Structure 1
Amino acid sequence: MSSSSAEQRSDLEEEQLEQEKPVRKTKTKKQKSERRKRRARFEDYDDEQDNSQMAQSNYNAQQQQLQQQQMQQQQQQQMQQQIQLKARIHGDLTLCLL
């Protein structure tokens, strides 16, 4: 009898140890699905941010290109005006000399 009571005691001790161990929770399919959806939404948001930044940089590049073209046109107009003015002055001087 003493051996069976010792066995019962060791069984009880094992049960207590089992209960004291932290129970590892496994994720349910629903939790995994929700996490997957959150991750997908985050990735979508990330993609939207990337697309937005790309669109903004494209817009900025186009604006910069337009400004450069406008400056070049202004410079060309100024050069033409200077040439015309010089030609006119030269013509006036020629007339004065005649």
Structure 2
Amino acid sequence: MKITLIISLLAILSFFDVYTTLIGITNGFVEENILLSSLENNIYLLLSIMIFLKIIAIVAIYYMMKRKLCLPAYVLLALYIFVDLHNIFLLY
């Protein structure tokens, strides 16, 4: 139950992060990540890399939680919440 809740929250927050990043870039904001900022001209490649990295993080957290390592999952969840709030405050 706890694993499915954490993974679901991470997936929702990941989608929200990608969505707010897309809105921000289309409104003229600059991505703060060095790797992703070099890809701002190619929006499809940027979104593909972001989604790929989010999937890798969620899969890694899933396997860590299966081995009873819950702290990295909580830290990543807190970071995703922080990033999403940061994006929302920048947009509005």
Q: Fold conserved (TM > 0.5)?
A: no
**Which has more radius of gyration?**
1
- Using structure 2 for the length normalisation, give the TM-score: 0.30
Greater helix content: 1
